[in-house]
A = this chain, B = another copy of it.
């Protein structure tokens, strides 16, 4: 059942090299020949052997996904998207969880490349926004795609899939303002994440546009984690003049805020509105369900992988114009506001 390139060549009546040309989309094959080969491939259900390809070729058929583990939902969605893209193109995915806090990421990267030839990498935050990591990737001559907050893409747009956090955060904040909120607290995510800065920026702009002064005491630090959401919300709610709404940098922190409110016997959304960001499945499983911004992680990752794969591929044979080849790949995503039950009108004073 398992057929090799030899079988295909025999069946099509050509040399194995010609078969190789066809399956790699190389030029200089007559249409008639190409068809013969493709028919044989189809008939035999031929699939090239990855190990052999990786061993023989200069290009490789493996890309890597480098991720920290900020949030299981995020990672799984991304991974599944990338996996789909890989499968569609016959590539293999090397999964590399790493720790953004440790200093060894660069070494790990180098090891990865030396150990198994790797065609490209998909970098997720915070690695995608860490200059030393980006530099190392470039130095290693790897094709790469960074999944980043728009702010971090400047000058490197070709290698980025952007998420416009500012824009989305602007809409979220506007939503709150339109519901009469004037004092809106903001729970920051981890400092190292550009996304949280983008979200803060959108928050600021929305306030400014509405003519509301920025109150620094309403902006509290956090870590994109539940506990920091609890702490941050507590701090905000204990203020002399507490906010009537809290914008958390992600759903997990928003859930933390919900928890804090509950602790303090504050009704949501009657007394306080809380909004998150990401639309993780999680956000539908809290009480009340979270108003948030939908971030299509699966789709984002699929595009990132497709882009990396295109880069890697075009390095090989001469290819059609690179402008055309990226058709269907969205390079900038704007998470969309999703109004659920955790936000409502500001309480009347």
Contacts and interface: CB of A to CB of B under 8 A. Distances in A.
Interface string A1-24: 110000000000000000000000
Contact of A117 (B51, B72, B252, B262): B51
Interface string A252-284: 100110110010000000000000000001101
A50 interface: yes
A109 to B, nearest CB: 13
Interface in A280-306: 281-282, 284-287
Contact of A95 (B47, B52, B79, B259): B79
A208 interface: no
Contacts of A54: 51
A93 interface: yes
Contact of A287 (B69, B252, B259): B259
B55 A52 contact: yes
Contacts of A51: 50-52, 54-55, 116-117
B95 A285 contact: no
A346 to B, nearest CB: 23
A221 interface: no
Contacts of A77: 72
A301 to B, nearest CB: 13
Given A83-B97, A226-B284, A49 B259 contact: no
A103 interface: no
B116 A50 contact: yes
B72 A76 contact: yes
Nearest to A256: B285
Nearest to A110: B1
Contact of A72 (B1, B52, B73, B97): B73
Interface in A151-199: none
Residue of A97, A226, A287 with most chain B CB atoms under a 10 A cut-off: A287
A240 interface: no
A92 interface: yes
A79 B73 CA distance: 13
Interface string A51-63: 1101100000000
A259 B281 contact: no
A310 interface: no
Given A255-B285, A258-B287, A285-B259, A69 B75 contact: no
A285 B83 contact: no
A43 interface: no
A4 to B, nearest CB: 11
A115 interface: yes
Given A258-B287, A285-B226, A95 B83 contact: yes
30 contacts: A1-B114, A2-B114, A47-B114, A47-B115, A49-B55, A49-B115, A50-B115, A51-B116, A51-B117, A52-B55, A69-B76, A69-B80, A72-B73, A72-B76, A72-B281, A75-B76, A83-B95, A83-B97, A92-B94, A92-B116, A95-B95, A226-B281, A226-B285, A255-B285, A256-B285, A258-B287, A259-B285, A259-B287, A262-B287, A282-B282
Nearest 8 pairs of A and B residues by beta carbon: A51-B54, A72-B76, A51-B55, A2-B114, A72-B72, A262-B287, A51-B51, A72-B73
